[in-house]
Amino acid sequence: MELLGGIYSRRSVRQYKNQRIEREQLLEIIKAGTWAPSGLNNQPWRFVIIQEQSLRHQLAALTKFGRIIEGAPVAIAVFLDKKSVYHDVKDYQAMGACLQNMLLAAHAMGLGAVWLGEILKNSDLVRALLELPDDLEFMAVIAIGHPVSPNQT
């Protein structure tokens, strides 16, 4: 996929087929995220892949957009490792670049994805659900799957 074509054709996909995503695809999406620029190459991102249906159901209960998480075969929770931070603004910018790379990688593979931010209001509950320490700051959930419709938003 040509880069600009991918950027211009990517859409936020919120409905998915009941179809598995291969492990290699998930690892490639995360790898794309890690190739985002970060100040001093500190790479402050951390990821939790959530495939288990019962865990996705519990995560979905923490947002008014839970149907999206429940309908996706995979959700990736993305965190900022506060122990790796060297400059707040630059590290938040890096996290945005990381998330965008992940969305573009999913799109390049023919997958659909959406970046969910409303769930941030329940950051503490998300960290507790995933049994993560306080030094990981919750940034977003990306729901990923095979799109029901190719041009859906």
pLDDT tens column, 96-145: 999 999 999 999 999 999 999 999 999 999 999 999 999 999 999 999 99
d(CA 82, CA 34): 16
Inter-residue contact 78 to 45 (CB < 8 Å): yes
Which pLDDT does position 1 carry in this prediction?
Answer: 62
The conformation of residue 32, written as its DSSP 8-state character, comes to H
Share of the chain above pLDDT 90, in %: 96
pTM above 0.85, yes or no: yes
CATH superfamily membership of 3-145? NADH Oxidase (3.40.109.10)
The conformation of residue 16, written as its DSSP 8-state character, comes to B
